[in-house]
Structure 1
Amino acid sequence: MDRPVTTAAPQWVPTDRDVADARITDFTRFVEQRTGSSFPDYHALWRWSVDDIEGFWAALWDYFDLGERAPTVLQGTGMPGARWFPGTTLNYVDQIVRNARTDRPAIVAVSEGAPDREVSWDELLGRAAAFADRLRAAGVGPGDRVVGYLPNIPEAVIAFLATAGIGAVWSACGQDYSAKAALDRLGQLEPKVLVAADGYTFAGRYRDKRGDVAELAAGMPTVQATFTTADLAARSDAPLETVAVPFAHPLWILFSSGTTGLPKGIVHGHGGVVVEHLKAVALQSDMGRDDTFFWYTSPSWM
């Protein structure tokens, strides 16, 4: 005897006001004025976005006012070989800096056994600027790799922003990985600099990782300097200076799980991350300047 199929009620249904105030609704109006076309619902907008790929990504760039761009959006459609926004330069960090403010923190840091800590934008960017100077002094420049062996702490963000700002390439994994597991990933990149923490607290117990840090550094002969989180404490009054790089210039390298051999590096570029994140976070998740974003995951994951 067949049982009737039951469908669970949705957890949340947007009101008419929610729809009217949504970022994607505002973007739709922007595209309608731009193209002279009408998009009465989400499906119509989606259909246009896949039928006119170049038009969609150009509109997204302009809607979010990402700066000057070259006229060509997509050069070639073959894969591999397609080039997005050829001739356009930018730096991911500039899009972070332009959103700095004084009325809300940049980061709310939560940890075991300690009160929540707010990191202001001034502190975040000042410390990133100071560490960028340290990286330059260590000979790091565009295209060089800087790797992190770090837990979920603000210093991981500071080190990343400093790295990306000067055009170097960032990659990291969490300290829940052993030195060997971290080396399987980060060692492939022939990094010039390693940034590491002495350890972290989990489930009420401090995990001392100084031995793993030493083993990891010894396994990467290209490393010319190792910095600890204490080296990220300094602050600069000067602005965080950035280097303009091509749209596809590597921003960070993620790694596959390593289930079928050594983990494989996956390169994400400055421009691709900027436009894809804006699409996903602002248009699809409807996040704005007054929202707080929380993603529960390990820094070893993407």
Structure 2
Amino acid sequence: MAPDILNGLNGSPADSNAELWRHPDPASTQMHAFKERVNAKYGLKLDHYEDLHKWSVENIGDFWGEVWDFTGIKGNRVDEPVLPHNAPMYPRPDFFPSSTLNFAENLLYPAGLTDPSQPAVIEANETSTNPISWTELRDRVRRCTLALQNLSLGPGDRVAGFLGNTANAVIAALAAASIGVVWTGVSPDTGVHAVLERLVQIEPKVLFVDNGVGYNGRTHPSGVKARGIVEGLKGKGLKAVVVFETVKGLDCGVENLAEAVDEGAKAWKYDDFVDRTNIY
């Protein structure tokens, strides 16, 4: 018996290219605005998406230059070719070779944002949600950044997070990125050995950890794992361990971690870590 090649949903052949949806007003889209910008600047008559795609492939440097400008990327764009003329895509050439930008700045201050009181991040767990506005997010990142700078961290240094998918992880990562620090994050359900296989290679100067995580209605303290990680990083240049009170009311275990760090290093509750600077 021949196999049934029909799609059970609408009776059309499974390999057909049936149109699923069409925008009711394509001229209102950002794609259309970008296409018209390209047409006006380069004297073209690109009518459809396929025309724009073909132009982008044949004019890679011009295309990415227009993307930079159209999307409002913040940075220092040098007046030079985006990439060498007729450069092959392998090995990969350097795009915007002398231009610079800050990743965190572009995420925190996106082009077109008109109301910073709107949610930037909505943090959710099993029982609740917590919206964080752009204004609050920027301020929390700023304070964390100052605390990292107070430890003399800068471009090329490393910071790690043994953190769940929370706003705290976003804030620590953006704070690190804002001053050129390399960030790496590891999920708190990862075993100590696997975490150390990653972190020993990069020798982080600061380690952010949760005091615990909630999963399936239960609280799982992170103290034992955190101490094992800190002990495994001895002699690797760790300056500070910073504990977020992710689970309210659960001991942060700072004293326990303070016993495990190298001489001269410190363990902090997060609030103490950011409050110890007088720069606000």
CA separation of 1:121/1:237 partners in 2, compared to 1, >3 Å: closer, same or farther? farther
1:63 and 1:5 map into 2 onto residues whose CA distance is 44
Tell me the equivalent position of 2:120.
106
Deviation at 1:117, TM superposition (A): 1.1
Q: Which runs of 4 or more aligned residues in structure 1 lie more than 6 Å from their structure 2 counterparts after TM superposition?
A: 235-239
Deviation at 1:72, TM superposition (A): 2.4
Residue in structure 2 matching 1:228, options 243, 248, 254: 243
1:232 and 1:163 map into 2 onto residues whose CA distance is 15
Tell me the equivalent position of 2:81.
72
Deviation at 1:107, TM superposition (A): 1.1
Residue in structure 2 matching 1:30, options 37, 48, 69: 37
Tell me the equivalent position of 1:275.
none
Deviation at 1:15, TM superposition (A): 3.2
Let me know the Cα RMSD of the aligned residues: 2.5
Residues 222-269 of structure 1 deviation map (CA, whole Å, 9 limit, x = unaligned): 211111125544589978xxxxxxxxxxxxxxxxxxxxxxxxxxxxxx
Deviation at 1:180, TM superposition (A): 1.3
2:226 and 2:52 map into 1 onto residues whose CA distance is 50
Tell me the equivalent position of 1:6.
6
| Alpha-carbon contact 2:173-2:183 (below 8 Å) kept | yes
For this pair of structures, how many residues does the alignment match? 237
* 1:157-236 map, 5 Å: 157-220=170-233, 221-230=236-245, 231-233=269-271, 234=274
2:191 and 2:140 map into 1 onto residues whose CA distance is 28
Deviation at 1:16, TM superposition (A): 2.8
Tell me the equivalent position of 2:48.
41
Determine if the alignment matches structure 1 residue 61 to structure 2 residue 71.
Answer: no
Larger radius of gyration: 2
2:81 and 2:229 map into 1 onto residues whose CA distance is 43
For normalisation by structure 2, the TM-score amounts to 0.76
Deviation at 1:60, TM superposition (A): 0.2
Deviation at 1:124, TM superposition (A): 1.2
Residues 51-89 of structure 1 deviation map (CA, whole Å, 9 limit, x = unaligned): 111111111001112244112211454644621111111
For normalisation by structure 1, the TM-score amounts to 0.71
2:68 and 2:278 map into 1 onto residues whose CA distance is 31
1:169 and 1:238 map into 2 onto residues whose CA distance is 24
CA separation of 1:181/1:144 partners in 2, compared to 1, >3 Å: closer, same or farther? same
1:6 and 1:89 map into 2 onto residues whose CA distance is 52
| Alpha-carbon contact 1:191-1:222 (below 8 Å) kept | yes
Residue in structure 1 matching 2:24, options 16, 19, 24: 16
Tell me the equivalent position of 1:125.
138
Whichever residue aligns with residue 105 of structure 1, its letter is P
CA separation of 1:46/1:194 partners in 2, compared to 1, >3 Å: closer, same or farther? same
Tell me the equivalent position of 2:249.
none
Taking CA–CA contacts closer than 8 Å with sequence separation of 6 or more, which of the two structures ends up with the larger relative contact order?
1
Secondary structure in 2 matching 1:167: coil
Greater displacement, 195-204 / 36-45: 36-45
Secondary structure in 1 matching 2:190: coil
Determine if the alignment matches structure 1 residue 52 to structure 2 residue 59.
Answer: yes
Determine if the alignment matches structure 1 residue 143 to structure 2 residue 117.
Answer: no
| Alpha-carbon contact 2:164-2:213 (below 8 Å) kept | yes
Structure 2 unaligned regions, length at least 5: 11-17, 246-268
CA separation of 1:122/1:218 partners in 2, compared to 1, >3 Å: closer, same or farther? same
Structure 1 unaligned regions, length at least 5: 240-302
Secondary structure in 2 matching 1:118: strand
Greater displacement, 147-156 / 47-56: 47-56
Whichever residue aligns with residue 138 of structure 1, its letter is L
Whichever residue aligns with residue 110 of structure 1, its letter is A
Deviation at 1:102, TM superposition (A): 3.0
Whichever residue aligns with residue 40 of structure 2, its letter is Q
